Amino acid sequence: MKPRHRVAIDWQQIKRRLADTERALARGGELDPQQRRDILAARAEALARRPPAALGGDSIEVVEFVIAQRHFAIEAEVVREVQALKELTGVPCTPAFVSGIINAHGRVIAVIDLKRFFELGESGLSDLNKVIILQQGEIEFGVLADSVVGTSRMPLAALDPPPSMGRQARCLRGITAQHVMVIDGARLLGDPDLVVDEQVSP
């Protein structure tokens, strides 16, 4: 097989072709077959060179984080802030996945452990020294994390379906080929199991 060589595109020529076409259409003129082929070829080249994001398609910006060697991601739009975990106060008579509460800028916020919430079991040592505070409308809580990897755009078409049962089915958009569990932020924040009374009685 012969190696393929990249050919430099004359963008100025492409622009001139498109401009000629627009002028011809404005005059009501008809294009001959060769002109049509040239215009279609120019458009195909332009589309082929366009970055994937410019072509559309569903993708979301996510924040990726790690808990005990497991990778998670959640829409950046529901992440209000990330802070170091300084003090976590346990709360009696709460589900096992509620690790406690923190004081964040004068607000008392419940903090949950996603490993326990998703019933994933133990998967290695965990520091859990970060809190990712999520918010949508009036609902907000924190999730524990060992580290925050960063933000990126993720194509939804690349996700495999989540498990068909349990909280994972309710709250996950899917799982990537790299085993990143992509959380649906709105569903997680609205999950009925996470209705936690965060009001502190005077």
pLDDT at 132 > cutoff 90: yes
CA distance 19 to 31: 13
Asked if pLDDT for residue 81 goes beyond 90, the answer is: yes
CA distance to 1, 28, 69, 96, per residue, from 200 (Å): 72, 73, 34, 20
Above 80 in pLDDT, residue 173?
yes
pLDDT of residue 183: 96
More confident residue, 138 or 44: 138
Per residue in 181-201, pLDDT tens? Answer: 999 999 999 998 886 444 444
Kindly report, residue by residue over 82-122, the tens digit of the pLDDT: 999 988 999 888 899 999 999 998 999 999 999 999 988 76
Give every CB contact of residue 57 below 8 A, 6+ residues apart in sequence: 155, 157
CB 106 within 8 Å of CB 198:
no
Distance between CA atoms of residues 17 and 146, nearest Å = 55
Mean pLDDT over each residue of the chain, to the nearest integer = 78
Which of 142, 143, 121 shows the shortest CA–CA distance to 69?
Answer: 121
Task: Please say whether the beta carbons of 102 and 79 come within 8 A.
Answer: no
pLDDT for res 36: 58
pTM check: above 0.75 = no
At residue 7 the predicted structure's pLDDT band, cuts being 50, 70 and 90, is very low
Spell out the domains of the chain, with CATH numbers in brackets.
11-50 (no CATH), 59-194 (2.40.50.180)
What does the pLDDT look like over 50-68, one tens digit per residue?
A: 444 434 458 899 999 999 8
